[in-house]
């Protein structure tokens, strides 16, 4: 099973989202196959580090100052269940990091929070999900409005095939947030400054966004997201495709942004979670195992699985 897991981590370098969804479904499959194998091979080879029962989430999943919350969250891809009964709160202006081995459902859960899973026909989400007390899956909630309020930054920088300026202006133009050209100019400038990209690109605003370096592209995507002035920003492994220097810049940016926005970040790097987040959630095979203050998770985890993961026994 350990080798199976390292195999799936190879698939970490997923090139685009569609593939990654397939992979996730495939991972689910391989896991369920693995489960069958496991029972048959029980006597020969029991993996004690990995096969520990999960009975609900341990730690402190709930907070007082709630921004977003999920109760009894299940997610299905067709017949396969990807997320099992997740209950968690995301506090106002905090950075919540989600960690766990590949295929554990953390990205899937992130996409629940702004209804990105709606774009996948076979995906079904149940449970109660709230943003500021409003049910985000209710009829009254418009996904367009929701996604303006809950922005998202993706694993691979995905600037649009437009100029830097148009990339940042995209959301504002879409939603009709600005009236005049000069307002738009201001917005673009403000967003780029906040994303720490202004100095680098201010003379090249009309060059294509795809021409920037990876780290710059990712900051452009962040600028694009904050131009709509969302309340929550979801980040799906935002630095996994970047070099360490670019990663450091993005991490600094995240901490800076947390003063104004609530941030949920999925990351593969435990160090990154430790560096930037206030709280850390550990996912395992679609279940939420433990949520605690980041310091506590990394120094004194409550659950044995969390401990095994952060000490590198698997993953």
Partner 1 sequence: MPVNFILITLLALLIFGFILGRARSIKVATEVRNGRYNLHSRPYYYGYMIALWAGIPSLLILLLWTGFDSSIVTSLTASDLPSEIQELSKDERSLVINEIINLAESGKADVNSSEPKLQAAAHYLSLKNISLMAKTVVVFALAILGIIIGLRFVKPEFRARNQVEKIVRWVMIGCASIAILTTFGIVLSVLFESLQFFKSVPFTDFLFGTHWNPQTAIREDQVGGSGSFGAIPLFTGTLLISAIALTIAVPIGLMTAIYLSEYANQAVRSIAKPVLEILAGIPTVVYGFFAALTVAPFIRETGEAIGLHPSSESALAAGVVMGVMIIPFVSSLSDDVISAVPQAMRDGSYGMGATKSETIRQVVIPAALPGIVGGVLLAASRAIGETMIVVMAAGLAANLTANPLEAVTTITVQIVTLLTGDQEFDSPKTLAAFALGLGLFTVTLILNVISLHVVRKYREQYE
Partner 2 sequence: MSKQYKNTDTIRAGLKKRYAREKRFQFFGIASIFISFLFLLVLLVNIFSQGYPAFQQTYVKLDVKLDGSVIGVSKDSSPEELFKASYGKLIKNTLKEMFPGVKDRKKKRALKQLVSKSAAYDLRDKIIENPALLGTTQSFWFLAKDDVDVFMKGDIDRTLPEADRRIKDFQLKWIDKLLAENRLEKRFNTTFFTAGDSREPEQAGIKGALIGSLLTMLVTMALSFPIGVLAAIYLEEFAPQNNRWVDIIEININNLAAVPSIVFGLLGLAVFIGFFGVPRSAPLVGGLVLTLMTLPTIIIASRAAIKSVPPSIREAALGLGASKVQTTFGHVVPLAMPGILTGTIIGMAQALGETAPLLMIGMVAFVADVPQGILDPSTVMPVQIYLWSDSPERAFTERTSAAIMVLIAFLVVMNFIAVLLRKKFERKW
71 binds, among partner 1, partner 2, none (CB under 5 to 8 A by kind): none
Q: Say whether residue 235 binds partner 1 (CB under 8 A).
A: no
- The stretch near partner 2 (CB under 8 A) out of 21-29, 34-42, 138-146, 216-224 is 138-146
151 binds, among partner 2, partner 1, none (CB under 5 to 8 A by kind): partner 1
The β-bridge relationship of strands 58-59 and 123-131 is unpaired
The answer to whether 157 and 167 are in contact (CB under 8 A) is no
Q: Say whether residue 121 binds partner 2 (CB under 8 A).
A: no
CB closer to partner 1, 49 vs 118 = 118
CB closer to partner 1, 82 vs 148 = 148
Mask 173-212, x = binds partner 2 (CB under 8 A)? Answer: --xxx-----------------------------------
Q: Say whether residue 145 binds partner 1 (CB under 8 A).
A: yes
The answer to whether 132 and 204 are in contact (CB under 8 A) is no
Q: Say whether residue 149 binds partner 2 (CB under 8 A).
A: yes
Helix ranges, the chain (H): 2-10, 17-40, 106-112, 143-149, 164-175, 181-194, 198-201, 214-226, 244-257, 270-276, 294-299, 304-310
Q: Where in 216-255 is the site for partner 2 (CB under 8 A)?
A: 228-229, 231
Interface residue with partner 2 among 133, 161, 259, 312 (CB under 8 A) is 133
Side-chain-facing half-sphere of 182: CA atoms under 13 Å: 0
CA gap 62, 80 in Å, rounded: 28
CB closer to partner 2, 2 vs 145 = 145
- The stretch near partner 2 (CB under 8 A) out of 28-36, 158-166, 170-178, 201-209 is 170-178
98 binds, among partner 1, partner 2, none (CB under 5 to 8 A by kind): none
The β-bridge relationship of strands 58-59 and 287-293 is parallel
Q: Is 24 exposed, middle or buried (0-12, 13-18, 19+ CB in 10 A)?
A: buried
Q: Where in 97-126 is the site for partner 1 (CB under 8 A)?
A: 114, 116, 119, 121
- The stretch near partner 1 (CB under 8 A) out of 15-23, 80-88, 93-101, 254-262 is 15-23
Q: Which of 112, 124, 99 is nearest to 275 (CA)?
A: 99
CA gap 267, 142 in Å, rounded: 28
Q: Which two tokens stand for residue 301?
A: 């985890």
Looking up tokens 């998202």 gives: 152
Q: Say whether residue 141 binds partner 2 (CB under 8 A).
A: no
CA gap 159, 213 in Å, rounded: 11
- What's the start-to-end Cα distance of the chain, in Å? 10
201 binds, among partner 1, partner 2, none (CB under 5 to 8 A by kind): none
Instruction: State the residues that interact with partner 2 by CB under 8 A.
Output: 132-133, 142, 144-145, 148-149, 175-177, 228-229, 231
Instruction: State the residues that interact with partner 1 by CB under 8 A.
Output: 15-19, 21, 114, 116, 119, 121, 143-148, 151-156, 158-162, 170-171, 174-175, 221, 224-225, 228
């Amino acid at each position: 099973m350990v080798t199976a897991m390292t195999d799936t981590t190879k698939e970490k370098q997923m090139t685009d989202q569609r593939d990654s969804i397939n992979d996730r479904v495939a991972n689910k499959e391989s896991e369920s196959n693995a489960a069958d194998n496991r029972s048959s091979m029980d006597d020969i080879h029991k993996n004690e580090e990995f096969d520990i029962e999960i009975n609900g989430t341990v730690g402190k999943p709930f907070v007082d100052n709630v921004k977003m919350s999920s109760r009894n969250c299940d997610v299905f891809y067709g017949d396969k269940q990807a997320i099992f009964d997740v209950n968690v709160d995301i506090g106002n202006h905090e950075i919540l990091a989600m960690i766990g081995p590949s295929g554990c459902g953390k990205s899937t859960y992130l996409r629940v929070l702004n209804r990105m899973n709606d774009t996948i026909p076979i995906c079904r989400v149940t449970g109660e999900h709230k943003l500021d007390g409003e049910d985000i899956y209710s009829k009254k909630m418009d996904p367009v409005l929701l996604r303006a309020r809950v922005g998202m930054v993706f694993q691979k920088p995905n600037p649009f095939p437009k100029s830097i300026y148009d990339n940042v202006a995209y959301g504002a133009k879409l939603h009709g947030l600005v009236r005049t050209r000069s307002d738009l100019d201001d917005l673009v400038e403000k967003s780029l400054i906040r994303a720490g990209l202004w100095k680098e690109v201010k003379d090249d605003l009309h060059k294509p966004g795809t021409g920037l370096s990876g780290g710059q592209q990712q900051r452009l995507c962040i600028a694009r997201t904050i131009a709509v002035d969302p309340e929550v920003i979801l980040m799906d492994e935002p630095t996994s495709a970047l070099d360490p220097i670019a990663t450091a810049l993005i991490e600094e940016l995240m901490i800076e942004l947390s003063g104004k926005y609530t941030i949920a970040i999925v990351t593969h790097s435990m160090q990154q979670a430790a560096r930037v987040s206030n709280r850390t959630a550990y996912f395992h095979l679609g279940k939420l195992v433990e949520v605690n203050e980041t310091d506590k998770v990394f120094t004194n985890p409550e659950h044995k699985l969390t401990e095994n993961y952060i000490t590198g026994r698997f993953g």
